[in-house]
């Protein structure tokens, strides 16, 4: 009897990737093959760690098959796809497999599969016997015929070269690996029978643990079921055994078919999971690149920086919405949170809760503000329902009644300029002088040219009317005795459609809000395109615009999205003030010198600080 085996060993290793890796283990006392899958891209690192651990463990030879099984159980982790360990002890070979690999025995010209997937066995080998231990990727890539055809009386290292070339030619072989273990020296121990009957390698004897488990299971079954139930169950089992379709042979066939379909489903699911994880990884990489670019550009070019941050956010949003718990999903969520935090900061998006600044009821019972106009430190306020005019100091909040009565029936619009407040009514435009509260009715009489007057504004002492019915901006020039005749502000060759305009504001150019989501600007009677840049979210449809010559910015009240969006006069986004749904202001005025933004809502004046 020979005390030790002298095998000839060769290895086959496929092409590794960041996520799939395979390798062969060779130590003085043990051999093996391993395949790793790591979706986080460190499969090689995990694999080397496993091989290092096994090398330390096999510093001494395991004394039994159960000891080798324990080693496999304690070293397998979630990254291991296949792990096969071989330990020769005298003339006996111990083999343990975990995962999706396979173990073959080649004897003469025949090849038999000893283990498919998880299993354990031991047995004696004879001279010329060859064990092929292969990972799941190797088995999937090469057929049985290709494996047996590679031998052709060649030495193990020559066979390994042929199999390596074939493995590298196949798609989907990443992570594949195989160990070729040939028994070269004869042994005096009992040899295996022919490879056609691989059962000569003895399976692992049943351990006492399994018997104890079955006894416990039966005992529990007796406690939770009645005698009658157990009798029925025995009759049912007996009936199944009596039916030829439920013979042991048929049951094995059904089990094999079931396992086949389960393996197919699991394989498809795994491929889908890998595909999804790969797409998430790619998306995170793209978003990370956009995020890094955006952060670098914020100081040099805020518009471009915010655009890149917005791209990063929009790239990750669909992934985050699925709430994946995979490592890739968690990485996407972490990056998304970081992008949103920095984008919010870069967008200067300020959540506000406008506070009540002045209630008109303090000046007159049931008074309601219906329109407002600001000049320097004075807000002119119209109460169309109460037919009363008011002023309010921005700095001191002093409110005064300055006029009203029957001559102010139907008043709608107010414009404040200098020492005067102008009020538009269907019968004409009235003037109220603030110094003595003297009113001059119909300082500008009603004109037959008027259509639907939607708003009125004052600039440089002149008055401008927005006529949405006739798509005109009417202009009245201030004179020593009052105002001139009606003029058209727009050039005769300019025929814009102003039917969607909502309000009028002037800083030397005429600005119009609209109900179709754009801000219009006219300079010296001609349209001067105003292009908005750098927003993370487009404006809504209904807009009101406010600016004047002493303001550096243009303020747009976005009725649809409950916010005021701030642009410079070249159209570059600067900031936005956002409030909760339910607060619905109808118009706004702004005092940059006082740092206040005023909103008219529910007949009262609200304010929030500019930041």
User: pLDDT tens-digit profile of 252-308?
Assistant: 787 888 888 888 888 888 787 778 888 888 889 999 998 988 888 877 777 788 888
Model pLDDT, residue 1: 37
CA torsion sign, 256 to 262 to 265 to 267? negative
For residues 302 and 181, what is the distance between their CA atoms, to the nearest angstrom? 65
Residues 3-15: what's their mean pLDDT?
A: 79
Q: With b meaning 16 or more CB within 10 Å and e meaning fewer, what string describes 14-48?
A: bebeebbbbbbbebeebbbbbbbbbbbebbbebbe
Cα 178 to Cα 13: distance, rounded to the nearest angstrom: 7
335-347: per-residue pLDDT in tens?
Answer: 999 988 888 788 7
Query: Is residue 121 over pLDDT 70?
Result: yes
The residue with tokens 């079955």 is 214
Spatial CA neighbour of 178 closest among 141, 129, 222, 232: 141
362, 363, 370, 591 from 392: Cα distances, Å: 12, 10, 14, 13
Q: Any idea what DSSP says for residue 354?
A: P
Tokens linked to 385: 């329902």
Q: In terms of Cα–Cα distance, which of 291, 297, 302 is closest to 337?
A: 291
Q: Across the strands, what pairs with 28?
A: none
Furthest C-alpha separation in the chain: 132
> Which H or E element spans position 266?
helix 248-297
User: How many C-beta atoms lie closer than 10 Å to residue 269's C-beta?
Assistant: 10
Residue that has been written with the tokens 């006996």 in this structure:
92
Q: Alpha-carbon distance 5 to 89, whole Å? A: 7
pLDDT attached to residue 530: 94
User: According to the model, what pLDDT value does residue 273 have?
Assistant: 76
At residue 394 the predicted structure's pLDDT band, cuts being 50, 70 and 90, is: very high
* 233 pLDDT more than 80: no
3-state class percentages of the chain: helix first, strand second, coil last, to nearest 5: 30, 35, 35
Query: What element of type H or E holds 555?
Result: strand 553-558
In degrees and rounded to multiples of 5, residue 177 shows phi and psi of -160, 155
Q: Which of 464, 535, 537 is nearest to 501 (CA)?
A: 464
pLDDT of 152 over the 80 cut: no
Neighbours of 460 (CB within 10 A): 12
pLDDT band (50, 70, 90) for residue 369: very high
Where does 228-377 show beta strands of DSSP type E? Answer: 349-351, 355-358, 371-375
Q: Tell me which DSSP letter residue 571 carries.
A: S
Task: Count CA atoms within 13 Å of residue 201 on its CB side.
Answer: 29
CA quadruple 450, 453, 458, 464: dihedral sign: negative
Residue 97 CB coordination number (10 Å): 26
**Who contacts 152 (Cβ-Cβ below 8 Å, separation ≥6)?**
none
Nearest one of 473, 460, 454 to 417, comparing CA atoms? 460
Mean per-residue pLDDT over the chain, rounded: 86
174-219 pLDDT tens trace: 889 999 998 875 444 443 333 333 434 444 444 455 555 555 666 6
DSSP state of 213: H
What would the DSSP string read from start to end of 141-207? Answer: HS-HHHHHHTTTT--HHHHHHHHHHHHHHSTT-TT-EEEEEEE-S--SSPPP--TT-GGGSEEPPPP
pLDDT digits (tens, 9 = 90+) for 481-522: 899 999 999 998 888 999 999 999 999 999 999 999 999 999
Place of tokens 């990443």: 174
Task: Please write the tens of the pLDDT for every residue from 548-579.
Answer: 999 999 999 999 999 999 999 999 898 999 99
Strands 349-351 and 573-578: parallel
């Amino acid at each position: 009897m020979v005390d030790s085996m002298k095998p000839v060993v060769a290895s086959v290793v496929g092409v590794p990737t960041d996520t799939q890796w395979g390798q062969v283990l060779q130590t003085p006392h043990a051999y093996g093959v391993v395949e790793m899958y790591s979706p986080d891209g460190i499969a090689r690192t995990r694999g080397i760690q496993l091989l290092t651990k096994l090398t330390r463990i096999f510093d001494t030879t395991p004394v039994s098959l159960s000891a080798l099984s324990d080693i496999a159980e304690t070293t397998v982790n979630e990254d291991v796809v296949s792990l096969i360990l071989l330990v020769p002890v005298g003339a006996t070979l111990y083999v343990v497999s975990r995962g999706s690999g396979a173990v073959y025995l080649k004897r003469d010209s025949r090849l038999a599969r000893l283990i498919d997937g998880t299993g354990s066995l031991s047995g004696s080998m004879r001279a010329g016997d060859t064990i092929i231990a292969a990972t799941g990727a190797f088995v999937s890539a090469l057929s049985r015929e290709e494996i047996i055809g590679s031998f052709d009386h060649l030495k193990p290292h020559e066979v390994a070269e042929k199999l390596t070339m074939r493995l590298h030619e196949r798609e989907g072989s990443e992570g594949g690996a195989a160990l070729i273990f040939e028994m070269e020296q004869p042994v005096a121990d009992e040899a295996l029978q022919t490879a056609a009957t691989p059962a000569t390698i003895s399976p692992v004897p049943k351990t006492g643990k399994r018997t104890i488990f079955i006894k416990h299971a039966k005992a529990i079954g007796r406690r939770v079921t009645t005698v009658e139930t157990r009798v029925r169950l025995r009759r049912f089992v007996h009936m199944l055994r009596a039916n030829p379709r439920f013979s042991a042979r048929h049951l094995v066939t059904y089990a094999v078919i079931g396992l086949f379909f389960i393996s197919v489903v699991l394989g498809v699911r795994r491929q889908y999971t890998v595909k999804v994880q790969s797409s998430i990884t790619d998306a995170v990489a793209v978003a990370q690149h956009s995020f890094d670019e955006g952060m670098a550009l914020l100081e040099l070019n805020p518009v471009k920086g915010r655009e890149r941050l917005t791209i990063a956010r929009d790239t990750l949003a669909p992934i985050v919405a699925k709430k994946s718990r995979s490592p890739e999903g968690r990485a996407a969520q972490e990056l998304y949170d970081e992008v949103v935090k920095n984008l919010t900061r870069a967008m200067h998006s300020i959540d506000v809760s406008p506070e009540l600044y002045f209630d008109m009821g303090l000046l007159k019972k049931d008074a309601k503000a219906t329109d407002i106009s600001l000049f320097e430190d004075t807000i002119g306020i119209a109460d169309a329902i109460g037919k009363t005019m008011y002023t309010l100091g921005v700095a001191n909040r002093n409110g005064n009644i300055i006029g009203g009565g029957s001559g102010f029936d139907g008043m709608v619009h107010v414009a404040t300029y200098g020492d005067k407040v102008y009020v538009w009514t269907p019968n004409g435009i009235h003037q109220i002088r603030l110094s003595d509260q003297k009113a001059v009715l119909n300082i500008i009489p009603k004109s037959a040219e008027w259509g639907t007057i939607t708003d009125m504004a004052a600039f440089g002492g002149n008055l401008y009317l927005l006529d949405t019915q006739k798509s005109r901006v009417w202009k009245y020039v201030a004179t020593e005795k009052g105002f001139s005749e009606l003029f058209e502000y727009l050039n005769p060759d300019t025929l814009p459609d102003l039917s969607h305009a909502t309000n009028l504001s002037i800083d030397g150019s005429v600005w119009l809000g609209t109900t179709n989501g754009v801000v219009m600007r006219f300079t010296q009677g001609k349209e001067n395109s105003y292009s908005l840049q750098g927003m993370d979210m487009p404006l809504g449809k209904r807009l009101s615009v406010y600016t004047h010559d002493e303001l550096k910015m243009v303020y747009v009240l976005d009725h649809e999205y409950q916010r005021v969006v701030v642009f410079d006069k070249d159209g570059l986004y600067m900031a936005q003030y956002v409030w909760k749904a339910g607060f619905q202001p109808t118009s706004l005025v702004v005092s940059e010198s006082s740092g206040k933004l005023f909103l008219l809502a529910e007949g009262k004046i609200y304010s929030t600080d500019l930041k």
